[in-house]
Amino acid sequence: MATHMLGRLVGNTGDPTNLSMVLNSSFAGRRGEFVRVRHREQEDGGASDVLARIVSISRSNVLYNSGLGQAVTELELLPGAHVTGEHIMGKLEAIGYRDTETGQIKMPRRALDPGAPVEPVDFQFLSAFYEFQEHSSLHIGNLVGYERGATAVPVYLDVNRLVTEHLAVLAMTGSGKSYTVGRIIERLVALNNGTVVVFDPHGEYGRALQGGRMHFNERPDELEDQRDRTVLPAICEAFTRLREAGAGVSIYSPQIASFRQKYAGANQELSLQFDHFEMDDLSEILPGLTEPQQRVLDVAIRYWIAHETTTPRDINRLRHYLGDGIEDVRQWDELSQAEAAALNGRSAAVASMKLSRVLQEAQSFYHSGLAGATDIYDMVGRPMDRRGRLVIVDLQGLSDTAKQVITALISSEILRAASSKTDRIRPCFIVYEEAHNFAPAGEPAVSHRIIKKIAGEGRKFGVGFAVVSQRPSKLDPDVTSQCNTLIAMRLRNPDDQRFIAKTSDMVSAADLEQLPGLSTGEALICGRSIPAPLLVRVGTKALIHGGESPEVLNVWGRFGG
């Protein structure tokens, strides 16, 4: 390892998150670069290397001070005099030192030594410092500044903590957040044989099976990263074998012809059971119902469930009881006189109309014309089923209410099956793309309550989730606060930055300052699935991703061309 000194610590060294150094030259260090400082925590103990990161650099020159005005042009130096006037300072944020007894990364509790040399680190030092457990982890990418060639430092995320302790991926549009999530989930499925369910509002993930066949990125042998060059063909092969075995990538979509065309009939059409909704959700599904209309709907649903004894129950029969069959409901002997008198035909008609509108928008509920209802056990699998699967629920083109209804019901079914005492599903990781539409802050959404429930209870039943959003400040903070891994990419909105700082104690002020300047594909990752906050260049996906913006000039072409 190179041991030449970059500079020395100066000033107050008591706060390891706010250290100052004077650099030997303007080329001695760069913002974002890792450095080390020798430190002894115990008086009778040995010295350790404290790893730190340069978070900012300031450079000034007394000869070019703005206060001098034009005087610098008239400055005369004696022959042979050498005056630079340079003043180069760096701000450091310590990451910690590795305790030799416990193996944990700890923050110094004793002040570092003023004047201590600040030295560079190389990839061997960083690789040894972080000690990633590759067999139980997922390679997300390489450390920024150490991302290429033989000196690349791979960064891994602990799979168990990532999946069960929830993930938040927050970034502005075009920064690569969906691509990052895609890299994570395809490795969870193909390399770790996991089950992942993605709610896909824009049909981006479904591109992998468009036309009814698998689509992979071409020519992995041209990739610069050796690990990706080796692993991506293995991921492609795993997906191919899993799909041949009836698992791998599967698409669930509404009962709409355009989805059948998109996937050449390889998709499975949703036929969800409306009676599996909790009654408390109905006011969210059908907003604006008056109290008499809610009462009519509630009675009709109770009657429907009591008299349609064969399951799954046909949703069209519920509409019948709100229309021509309302008289049958009135004669039900389980109704009180007050309930029967309240069954107003006009209220029933309004409730039926609103229910029909939602069902028409969603096109995803069971009726007698379908072969059977969607089985959550077929979708996710049971523990003895050793086939990994990526389940994509394509919601492209649906209304916000329809997307929320489908997401809420499938999520509820997953948690119900996962918490079963007799027949559990496989551990499952759910991805909510555009999560601010499914769990918004201060706004009603059908899916909001079940996502909060999974956030609080999912871990003990093996159900984890990722919330992915370009507007973090629009997300429910109760949901994001449960996410113990954070991947933050480029974010320039001050409200979004403040939201991250408020809801997560994993991000420092120096980390927040870096978010606006991150390049596409660069991410700040912190939390329990990674040893310490790190800036990472996210690697390449195996499956084709549909989130790229179109090249509009190529599409427009030339008139007459």
Would the pLDDT of 301 be above 80? Answer: yes
Mean pLDDT, residues 293-300 taken together: 86
Which tokens is 429 given? 């990781």
Between these two residues, 88 and 103, which has the higher pLDDT value? 88
Q: Is the pLDDT of residue 37 over 90?
A: yes
Q: In angstroms, what CA-CA distances link 390 with 199, 209, 468? A: 11, 11, 17
pLDDT at residue number 73: 52
Residue 417's pLDDT is what? 96
pLDDT of residue 273: 93
Distance, CA of 294 to CA of 296 (rounded, Å): 5
Calculate ∠ Cα 414-203-371, nearest 5°.
55
Tell me the residue length of the chain: 561
Question: Which pLDDT score is estimated for 67?
Answer: 65
Rounded CA separation 100/339 (Å) = 72
241 alpha carbon, distance to own chain's centre: 27
Strand partners, 57: 90
Pick the range with the lowest mean pLDDT from 117-121, 325-329, 479-483, 542-546. 542-546
Neighbours of 142 (CB within 10 A): 23
Task: Identify the weakest region by mean pLDDT among 184-193, 246-255, 471-480.
Answer: 471-480
Report cis status (omega within 30 of 0) of the bond before 312: yes
pLDDT of amino acid 200: 96
Mean of the per-residue pLDDT values for the chain? Answer: 87
pTM of structure: 0.87
pLDDT at 31: 83
Q: Flag whether pLDDT at 24 surpasses 80.
A: yes
Question: What's the pLDDT at 1?
Answer: 45
Query: What are the residues facing 209 on neighbouring strands?
Result: none
Distance in angstroms (rounded) separating the CA atoms of residues 134 and 393: 31
pLDDT at 81: 56
CB atoms within 10 A of CB 465: 29
Q: Which among 290, 298, 200 is positioned nearest to 251, based on CA atoms? A: 200
- Quick one: tokens of 126? 């960083």
| Domains observed in the chain | 7-71+81-121 (no CATH), 134-269+374-550 (3.40.50.300), 274-362 (no CATH)
What is the C-alpha separation between 217 and 226, in angstroms, rounded? Answer: 16
Q: Cα 225 to the chain's mean position, in Å?
A: 24
